[in-house]
Structure 1
């Protein structure tokens, strides 16, 4: 009989086990992901409910890391407060103990192979019968996941059984238990899966390779090591995300320290319920649940103070994105409206910057200097960061507008404010259109179809020409020149749209593009053209007088009607 540890079989078993866990997590999230997110978001308006929701979702999803990352997202979005977020984190620690109970009560009580193979076989048949993405296909993936889970467990069990018969812990007795604590922490942090570490511990305990005491200490270490996923998820995140990750680390560290310090007492409590000599696996699963539950009881009375302390460690540093609103009192309505007009002009430029970067256009072609968002920064924002800042700026503008509305306004001021908010909303709608076609634009740029490449270049040319025109109009002082310039710019947008349609029809006739490309190209042009129009509409409400706005709208209506009827458009329809 071989007495060496079959390390490759152990590693293969671990890999199969982890792959099974991944399949289970992905399948359950795909089947009920929205439900889980709704539970985490909705049923956490109380500390006990937060703990219960965290435990339930983690038990079903079989991934405390996934639940913790959901919490990071909701806290970062401002839809969950810190005490409730900490409650969900604590509950997830209880829910994750279900893995140990499944392995302890089922994994080694029956012939594992007879349980694993039917799961895999039925699941594989389902993959053949059902189309990917359908619910039955997801159920079959879930079945395969459970099969791999148990098959990996069987590999690990077999790999250590013969080795355990000749292995003795006598040579390791001089090492302190803290070494095993570090082992559990290190391996869990490395694999980012406490379930895998606990499966290995239960396998070793089942084979007599380790004692119950050592197994309990490694499980404590696994609880600490599992915090690495959330810590990594919070790197570079908002202060709120950092608070959540720190709460997870502190909770698990303190809980682990208490369990390690009181290990003899906790083992005696376990022995009161379970004979660890004959039912060591059940005892270890109970220990895993018990010390996590003890941590919840320990922290629960201090959740509010704990959340306050975390806020002091990572306070919110609100970045001031506004340029003109911050120092302007809304009580002085004339000054407030003037500041709001300038701030919306700033919003327009930041939106233009986003659109230029989305199309990989050098912003220096349009802007001579850095815009306010990045004027004092050492690095440029990513597209995602820039988009989030633009949304926050729009929110600040709307808040300022609401505060002005609370003042006594005459009818002229009220109409002016209304038009300014039209301008702001049009700019935001324009940038949303651009964001929606980002993927398509990248496809056109990287396509091997020359026609798509050409259209991508034309889109870039159209936007640069428009922004140069808009920049000149913003510098003008003469309202009449601005009016005529905006009408001309709108006419150029319509002409470019018509030219695109003619060109694409010719390309279709000459079979230069495929059907799928036609659909994507037409959709992108429609959204691109709408975005250009909305930016002109925004400038119209930002720059023109009330009377000029009315003339502009009538001129645009005539332009649309003439275009539909095929009639020539007057050179200056507003006159």
Structure 2
């Protein structure tokens, strides 16, 4: 038997299978667009919703490894806690079974025969790609072409291994794997760890099953091993991450190991005591899909009630406390998220919101500093402005990386808007620092605003802070009505600045206000009015995006 003629087509088919799976997943993800981003809101609910979310995301991107890598990234960024991560991890194991059902559909839906459907899907996808002009059309073509390539790949693998039906040595190898659960689990884990895709690993098993080579018991143990092997990607991803993120990867590994141990014991009892004849029977592609799905669903149902204990064990192994103190000037965005641009953009929105609240706190700290001239407040404002500068730089760099990825036209517009909003928030923080410098000037020159000057400045500050507060609320809720309120407040600030400037000039002309505090007053008026201008910029950007 010429093994070269078997191995080369098999490897080529595997490559086509993985490539088809990836471009189909990318097309699905792009087509999902903003709907993918809104899924993150579910994470604020509970662990059960996390399971549903994990299953849904994995079904779309067709890789439990990719989902778990994202979870590690979320935990590392402080966006997700370990309890939420546990739910998503459990759901990811269920979602990854979708690819297996696609492959086995050739058995339970004869009209989906790869010989007929794959070439048809590829040519339809190519025609759509060549004739379509919109981005959404290109995404649809990627889904169809990927689907076709996936089927071509699995057909190529199945055809390549069909001569092995005559190989006694190959058949005996599977008999050994079926008779020795440990070897079967290790084999499944090793193959999956090497190619870093449980979906592709299951596809390989199904191609061998299509050739009538895989006994039922061997398939069961290999499938269980595949669930352990898929943890390798997340474990590698956690290298260099914080302990919390490493703990998330450990949770994934523990969950799959515990599930494998439990069901391996049940399988051994079943095949050796209850139905030994069934173990030696040949398994079909559809049966592999059913077993894979049943194993993952049953594991989740069984371990869901004790998932808190798994989290505690993982934390003990990872030597981590759940509540780790984060430096709020550190950008909580993870490179792992860039694998899924839609979700990366959502995490960026959350981070911009966090920066926006720091700016809001800085504004509040600036509210009275010109009147109190408190040195501690002056220094804190400057420190907060430094934090905003660091956050703005890091988030901007991350947003630019997102802009280079394969994202929709709508998301490109959103990225451009985010960059503008980041700039406006950072400029507001700069003006807060200017206010602290005005306070220093007043302190050094032992100057004070007049009583009427204090009252008028407080009125101006209140209007400008309110305009930014409304802008931040509008950004977080994407509320057009709130954005319109920002514009109203900014118009009020413009009118007030003109009036107060005129009144102040009159007081200075009448000798009611000293020169030093008078100059500071005028500079502060300009500063506050500019703050309201930038708040309006944020609101107008939101209104533009909502059209």
Q: Deviations over 1:99-145 (max 9, x none)?
A: 2222223368453121111111111122212347x111111111111
CA distance in 1, matches of 2:326, 2:82: 23
User: Secondary structure of the residue that 1:544 maps to in structure 2?
Assistant: helix
> Does 1 or 2 have the higher relative contact order (CA < 8 Å, sep 6+)?
2
- TM-score between both structures, scaled by the size of structure 2: 0.62
1:51 aligned partner:
51
1:378 aligned partner:
none
Q: Deviations over 1:290-326 (max 9, x none)?
A: 222222133122122332333343225846869xxxx
User: Secondary structure of the residue that 1:262 maps to in structure 2?
Assistant: helix
Q: How do 1:548-567 and structure 2 match up within 5 A?
A: 551-552=519-520, 554=522
CA distance in 1, matches of 2:113, 2:435: 71
Contact 1:430 1:534 in 2 (8 A): no
Count, aligned residues: 406
Q: Against the structure 1 CA distance between its residues 73 and 2, is the aligned structure 2 distance closer, same or farther, given a 3 Å change threshold?
A: closer
1:31 aligned partner:
31
Match status 1:146 vs 2:43: no
Contact 1:51 1:91 in 2 (8 A): yes
2:223 aligned partner:
219
- Per-residue deviation at 1:280? 2.6
Q: 1:314 aligns with which of 320, 329, 341?
A: 320
CA distance in 2, matches of 1:536, 1:84: 38
Q: Against the structure 1 CA distance between its residues 229 and 279, is the aligned structure 2 distance closer, same or farther, given a 3 Å change threshold?
A: closer
Q: Against the structure 1 CA distance between its residues 97 and 435, is the aligned structure 2 distance closer, same or farther, given a 3 Å change threshold?
A: closer
1:303 aligned partner:
307
1:159 aligned partner:
160
Q: Against the structure 1 CA distance between its residues 557 and 397, is the aligned structure 2 distance closer, same or farther, given a 3 Å change threshold?
A: closer
CA distance in 2, matches of 1:288, 1:55: 14
CA distance in 2, matches of 1:201, 1:549: 81
Q: Deviations over 1:491-520 (max 9, x none)?
A: xxxxxxxxxxxxxxxxxxxxxxxxxxxxxx
1:357 aligned partner:
none
Match status 1:283 vs 2:287: yes
Between 1:37-46 and 1:199-208, the stretch displaced more is 37-46
Contact 1:192 1:229 in 2 (8 A): yes
Larger fraction in helix: 2
2:17 aligned partner:
17
Contact 2:75 2:82 in 1 (8 A): yes
Contact 1:430 1:535 in 2 (8 A): no
Match status 1:99 vs 2:111: no
User: Secondary structure of the residue that 1:295 maps to in structure 2?
Assistant: helix
Unaligned runs of 5+ residues in structure 1 are: 323-346, 352-387, 443-522, 560-575
User: Secondary structure of the residue that 1:545 maps to in structure 2?
Assistant: helix
Between 1:3-12 and 1:249-258, the stretch displaced more is 3-12
- Per-residue deviation at 1:154? 0.8
Q: Against the structure 1 CA distance between its residues 303 and 395, is the aligned structure 2 distance closer, same or farther, given a 3 Å change threshold?
A: farther
1:129 aligned partner:
131
- Per-residue deviation at 1:245? 0.7
- Per-residue deviation at 1:229? 1.6
Match status 1:537 vs 2:399: no
2:236 aligned partner:
232
CA distance in 2, matches of 1:321, 1:138: 39
